[in-house]
Structure 1
């Protein structure tokens, strides 16, 4: 039986369109239920049209339809690859150690757990049934460094004034330290609606993936980037 907690997580995942991976023996598909990827090493095996579960192999001689029914488990997105967004129809689950963090309603990315940029929506389903808490959104023009579980509001980013103070601002103010700050490897550097650092560190270049996202990298990050 699916636990009450898992049922709530499934419903929430359906609402926000971000998918977590399913543990062994838990439901992963079924008519009216949706399709969810299994933890690494397992596949989604069909018992009947209403119920499929994650297992390492099809239960044999127990009347499961998977003995004759072939289906492919949903694929995992690679680390740093897109995993969700309006109109996104490819892999939505991230590999172990990564979470699907939302940059906007149009773009989410598999990033290491806890590595969520300050101006992103840092809620996600990770490689388990445990969600990462949704952060508090700070008001604009307030301190944003060393503030736990908080992000800057849409249209602003956490810009550094000095070594001790940073603030949610729509742009870097003149004379602030952020004027010379640079984005590091795998950090965002552009995209529609993006507010933040646009210059990459030495040895890195800002590669465009699509109109909503670009990131710093020493070389082309992948075939889905414009390189």
Structure 2
């Protein structure tokens, strides 16, 4: 019994990297960082060459380079075909309704959900359904010191952010002028509050703190979002 469990755990460790995907606001690409798929419904959007994160849409007016965002288009294995195993270089994602079940460290197969033979390592299974694709319009880069509120699919140029003067007007600027309303504005839950090259608002709303995901990205949360965040640095 113990040896059977050990085999299943070994298989799980061998294929866990195949099905891993990243959650919302987590890093999915960047120079020196592996390119990872996002959870279903999310897209990997580019902030700069060092950092991209999984989000529902491109963050507007924050200087993100979303016109070059990363679109991951996995190749799906057919039902009942091989989807993994030591040395396997073919497609690893199963179609909807199928799961990539491991027979051993050397062979996994796309089979209907729940249809795993009793002598297979079924403890190590991952349901891999297609990731929906979303068409996002290419954002326009505004000029520095131009209006940025109520402008659809537009971003401020790098080195600037959209700062609020009053309830009617916001502008792309390198910093918030002392007399503007942005002096008292705060950053909401899961919104960016820091990172290398970031020039936007940094004060989180009441009950939130600015937690760092990496050197290039931090956002406001009630507590440290995950163990692998650099929360001790914030």
TM-score by length of 1: 0.63
Distance 1:145 1:71, change over 3 A: closer
Q: Tell me how large the CA RMSD over aligned residues is.
A: 2.1
Distance 2:183 2:134 in 1: 39
1:116 aligns with 2:120: no
- Cα deviation 1:156-180 (Å, max 9, x = unaligned): 0000000011000000011100000
Unaligned runs of 5+ in 1: 1-69
Aligned match of 1:96 in 26, 36, 40? 40
Once the two structures are TM-superposed, the CA of residue 132 in structure 1 deviates from its matched residue by 2.0
1:163 aligns with 2:108: no
Once the two structures are TM-superposed, the CA of residue 84 in structure 1 deviates from its matched residue by 0.9
TM-score by length of 2: 0.62
Aligned match of 2:20 in 75, 86, 105? 75
Q: Is the 8 A contact 1:121 1:134 kept in 2?
A: no
Match of 1:136 in 2: 140
Aligned match of 2:183 in 168, 179, 183? 179
Match of 1:43 in 2: none
Q: Is the 8 A contact 2:41 2:132 kept in 1?
A: no
- Show the 5 A alignment for 1:6-85: 73=18, 75-85=20-30
Unaligned runs of 5+ in 2: 1-14, 73-130
Aligned match of 1:106 in 46, 50, 56? 50
Once the two structures are TM-superposed, the CA of residue 114 in structure 1 deviates from its matched residue by 2.6
Match of 1:194 in 2: 198
Once the two structures are TM-superposed, the CA of residue 131 in structure 1 deviates from its matched residue by 4.1
Distance 1:98 1:129 in 2: 8
Distance 1:153 1:171, change over 3 A: same
Distance 1:110 1:139 in 2: 26
SS of match in other structure, 2:213: strand
Once the two structures are TM-superposed, the CA of residue 133 in structure 1 deviates from its matched residue by 2.6
Larger Rg computed on CA atoms: 2
